[in-house]
Amino acid sequence: MSGLSTAAVVPLLPQQADLRILERLNPVFNIDGIVHVMLTQSIATVPRKELGPPVSSLNSQHYFEVINALDMLISGS
């Protein structure tokens, strides 16, 4: 996929009290001691040249949570 000029990205925002989340669609991750919510419904493509270096990684430890969120977005179930 590195040969593509764009990348699909999903925002991770610090959790806020007023942020409405759905458990499966919006998994929660602890990144450097700060709780972040994955806003799967805000997925977008971004030109790779506009992306900076990664600041963290949701490696294999969170694989199923990420896949389940994407499945929920696409299939609705």
Domain ranges of the chain: 6-75
34 token code pair = 């700060």
Token pair recorded at residue 13 = 């925002």
Of 2.30.30.110, 3.30.2270.10, 1.10.1060.10, 3.30.365.10, the CATH number of 6-75 is 2.30.30.110
pTM, entire model? 0.86
For 1-77, strand residue ranges (E) read 6-9, 12-14, 28-31, 34-38, 44-47
Which amino acid does the sequence have at 49? K
Q: At 40, give phi and psi (nearest 5°).
A: -55, -35
Q: Which of 72, 4, 6 is nearest to 38 (CA)?
A: 72
User: pLDDT tens digits, the chain, 77 residues: what are they?
Assistant: 778 999 999 999 999 878 888 989 999 999 889 999 999 999 999 999 999 998 888 878 899 999 999 999 999 87
